[in-house]
Amino acid sequence: MSTEVIMPQMGESIFEGTISKWLKSVGDRVDKDEPLFEISTDKVDAEIPSPVAGVLTEVKAQEGETVQVNTVVAVIDGAEGGPTQAVPAPKQSAAHVSPPAPEKVATEEKPLSEPVLPPEMPAEEKPSGKGGEQIRSSPLVRRLAKDNNVDLHQVEGTGLAGRVTKEDIMRHLSNPPTGKVTEGVSAAAVPSEPAGPEAVPIEEAGAPETELPEAGAATPEPSPGDLVPLSRMRSIIAKRMVESAHVSPHVYTVFKVDMSRIVQLREREKAGYEQRNGVKLTYMPFIAIAAIETLRKFPVVNASMENGSIRYHQNINLGIAVALEWGLIVPVVRQAEERSFLGLARAIADLAERARSKRLKPEEASGSTFTLTNSGIFGEEFGTPIINQPEAAILAIGGLTKEPVVLTGPDGNDTIAIRSVQHFSLGFDHRIMDGSDAGKFMRDFKKMLENWDREIG
């Protein structure tokens, strides 16, 4: 039995994708849900998993080729477990409809190929368990469970209809239930953050790195004199940056913030925090919470221009810019104002990990209303980033350093002390707000960080 692999539709507004890399060659064995090829679209770069197990017998679309959604790009033969059945497609909107299966013709010489939509985009499998119980989970979750010998029945699912999410299984691995420790799994078996050059570790929010990650088997560096065509993502970035610079009159204001209180709190709590919650205590949630709280006080900074009017957004959809080896992407924490400190920390860590591993969904990389970008990780004092359209502003996080600061005591006397300081730069659209709006926003943002008094969970 043959199975045709098609180009999935990665979102309602996406109608084509570019094959950026084949992860398997013709003749290779491939398991179900194992990454088969990588694609690049207007929204995301993503790995596409194999819908079935078998042998890759034909590649119909070559690397660099752009094809329409629902186009057959490969054929897999000899699926395990007998004749391959088509994976049930998820409920689809009018903009996401797979083509009807071809009319079956009876033949004994050549079994009919059945087009299959890769299940991770976004179909979910429900592996049956004890007593016929169904466990909802994604291919990534099932892969983590398999790699760590975890029975998904032992993991409490917090997603919709009891779905086991990545956060659930990571929390389970970090804190196995008493008396129910899965065989072969210990705290040391918890998967670490992916290493490699794929992404800036945005969670550290400006903390200086003494050593950048070593590059793995990356694309060879071009030699002087080479003419290298832009990748699809690079082309999109170039277009968007020119459009933003052309549309928005960019203005910047830079504030220096004394982060000593937060640095001391983090140093005191980080070990116990990760042990309790299964997520690292980094600086990014502190900055994100301060930005969210201040945006609620100054909604114009969370606005956007729309048909000659200003749209004041109901929710704060926080974009977190991530620098990848192959480009730039902005994952989005939706309705960030409704999340606790811990919930925000987990959401940011999850988005960062999936951005590095090319597993973001299109809707997770669009729709932001305000963006944080962390240029300080490379040692910059501050940056002047281009606004992520159609937003009104973008906040750049500078490097976290120590320097002498003059402090005035209650008695009016001045002293010099070593403090941890950080520069934050707000780039804003002068059509939407004035310098006074930006200044007031940054004043209150600075005050909240310097006088931090919130629970961190």
Which residues are known to be catalytic? 430, 434
Sheet holding 414-429, edge to edge: 250-258, 414-429, 393-408, 370-374, 318-320, 332-333
**H/E run at residue 235:** helix 232-247
Residue 194 CB partners (closer than 8 Å, separation 6+):
353, 356, 357
**CA 6 to chain CA centroid, nearest Å:** 24
Q: Rounded to whole angstroms, what are the CA distances from 369 to 364, 389, 404?
A: 13, 9, 36
Q: CB neighbours of 132 closer than 8 A, spacing ≥ 6?
A: none
- State the Cα–Cα distance between residues 70 and 98, nearest whole angstrom: 6
Place of tokens 């996406």: 14
Place of tokens 């940011």: 348
Which helix (H) or strand (E) segment is 168 a member of?
Answer: helix 166-174
Residue 57 exposed, middle or buried by CB count within 10 Å (0-12, 13-18, 19+): middle
The CA dihedral of 448, 453, 454, 457, to the nearest 10 degrees, is 140
List Cβ neighbours of 91 (8 Å cut-off, separation of 6 or more).
none
- On whether the CB atoms of residues 123 and 140 are closer than 8 A, the answer is no
Helix (H, G, I), strand (E, B) or coil at 267: helix
Distance separating alpha carbons of residues 236 and 230, to the nearest angstrom? 9
Amino acid at 413: N
- For the record, the structure tokens of 185 come out as 């799994």
The answer to whether 208 and 400 are in contact (CB under 8 A) is yes
Tell me whether strands 72-77 and 54-59 are parallel, antiparallel or unpaired.
antiparallel
